[in-house]
Amino acid sequence: MAYSVSNAGSGVDKTFDNSFITRNELYAILDQLKEETEFYELEIFEVVESSSDDNDLLPGEVIGRYVFSEQGDSIEEVEDRTFLPLNPNIIQYPLRGELCVGMSYKGQQYYLSRLSEDLTDVNYKKFNESTISDNLTSDFSQGSYFRDLRPVRPDTNEGDTLIQGRFGNYINLTSAQNVGVEDSSTITINNRNSIIDLQSTSNDGLININSNLISINAKQDVLVFAENNVNISGSFLNVDTTDIFIDKNNIKLNSSEQVKINSSKIDIGSDSLVPAVLGNKDLIKAIDAILTMLISANQTEIGAQLARPVPNTIKIAELTEENVELNKIKSGKTYLSKKVNVE
């Protein structure tokens, strides 16, 4: 809260009478009567309670004790007054023992930001700063489950904008000017104990990542969800895994170049699965033999029809046309797909 510090005058101790005084004595008397007042609109306060599962405080709401104007006051004296974030859209939730800059507006207390005396300490705290002599705090836990992991600040470059969380996670808006490159793009999510959540709540929200190379590497699973479509566009699609399972009503793979699936086992469908047919030389040899037998049998029947006194011309025409088609299949291998290859 705003507070004032008054400094009383320090002139000579002179009693007042009707005698004449010198100029210097007059200045001394005026200095004795003078009182200097310093007004502070902002004040540092110590967080004595923050929102958690153990209380009814709203997220971001804290109870604090001012370091100067409320020095030494008991928690009971300040527990009915809460501080709210001055900017409710960007909040770093304070924890017990931390120092924040406070102010008052229309009777409501607000906090601006945390105060740190050690730039290397990401989670800087200073218990009992607001009660140095009395009402000491014995519980030095900062929350009901929070643990300070002692994260270190990342290396940064000139002009960077760094947003750092408490758990080793950070977003660094940087450049590659120090290495002579202007168009680099980097997204870094760091630390196993951290979560970075980037969201857009607008109806036409868009997150666009554009770079020469984008690599996604997960130690366990990579999950992609969409209410409508998942579109992958590129000149070449390569899926390399030990097991592929696709279960959906309608699946369409469309590429003007090539779609390649490389796996030790591929199941298409879910029930009554049977092995796929390989279009290798053994199958080609077997089908060619069958086609040759059919063509030969048709040719024999045509010869028998021609040997009859009254040949069945319709039958001969049908068999001749069938042999033409069978020869096309045999020579063109039309039973083999020109687009799908299996191993």
The answer to the question of residue 257 being in a domain is: no
Let me know if residue 271 belongs to a domain. Answer: no
Looking at the structure, tell me whether residues 116 and 162 fall in a common domain.
no
Contact 86, 112 (CB under 8 A): yes
pLDDT tens profile 172-183: 777 767 776 565
Q: Residue 90 belongs to a domain with what CATH number?
A: 2.40.50
- How much is the pLDDT for 223? 85
Give me the number of domains the chain comprises: 4
CA 190/CA 39 separation, integer angstroms: 44
In a domain, residue 182? The reply is yes
Residues 139 and 189 in one domain: no
Q: Look at residues 220, 253, 273 and tell me which one is the last residue of a structural domain.
A: 220
Find the mean pLDDT for residues 256-284: 77
Q: What is the pLDDT of residue 211?
A: 77
Q: pLDDT tens across 205-261, in order?
A: 566 777 788 888 888 888 888 888 888 777 777 777 766 666 666 666 666 666 677
Phi/psi of residue 317, nearest 5 degrees: -65, -40
Domain that holds residue 29: 3-40
- Give the dihedral sign, CA 116/119/120/122: positive
Residue-wise pLDDT for 122-151, tens only, equals 888 888 888 876 666 666 788 888 888 888
The token pair that represents 214 in the structure block: 């984008």
Mean predicted confidence (pLDDT) in 13-33: 71
Whether the per-residue pLDDT at 202 is higher than 50: the answer is: no
CB atoms within 10 A of CB 43: 19
Residue 177 is classified by DSSP as: G
3-state class (DSSP) for residue 31: helix
Lowest mean pLDDT among 42-56, 206-220, 293-307: 206-220
Residue 281: pLDDT band (50, 70, 90) is confident
Q: Are residues 31 and 50 in the same domain?
A: no
Residues 127 and 70 reside in one and the same domain? yes
Three-state secondary structure call for residue 115? strand
Region 93-118 average pLDDT: 90
Instruction: Give the span between the Cα atoms of 84 and 61, in whole angstroms.
Output: 5
**Would you state the pLDDT for residue 110?**
95
Instruction: Please check whether residue 340 lies inside any domain of the structure.
Output: no
Residues 84/109, Cβ–Cβ less than 8 Å: yes
Residue 241 within a domain: no
Query: How far separated are the first and last CA of the chain, in Å rounded?
Result: 76
Is the torsion defined by CA of 232, 236, 242, 247 positive or negative? positive
Same domain, 51 and 29: no
Q: Are residues 49 and 36 part of one domain?
A: no
Q: Looking at the structure, tell me whether residues 65 and 143 fall in a common domain.
A: yes
Only one residue has tokens 């040759």, namely 292
Based on the fold, state whether residues 53 and 141 are members of the same structural domain. Answer: yes
Band of pLDDT at residue 57, cut at 50, 70 and 90: very high
Q: Please identify, among 197, 220, 243, the residue that sits at the C-terminal boundary of a domain.
A: 220
Q: Is 144 helix (H, G, I), strand (E, B) or coil?
A: coil
Residue ranges of E strands in 161-278: 161-164, 170-173, 236-241, 244-245, 258-263, 266-267
Residues 50 and 125 in one domain: yes
When pLDDT is cut at 50, 70 and 90, the band that residue 100 belongs to is: very high
Q: How far apart are CA 260 and CA 240, in angstroms?
A: 8
On whether residue 251 sits in a domain, the answer given is no
Q: How many residues does the chain have?
A: 343
Same structural domain, 17 and 31? yes
Domain check: are 108 and 199 in the same one?
no
Eight-class DSSP state of 176: B
Residue with more model confidence, 123 or 199:
123
Residue 339 lies in a domain: no
Q: 110 with 129, same domain?
A: yes
Residue 319 lies in a domain: yes
Domain boundary among 186, 220, 254: 220
Instruction: Give me the pLDDT at residue 199, please.
Output: 44
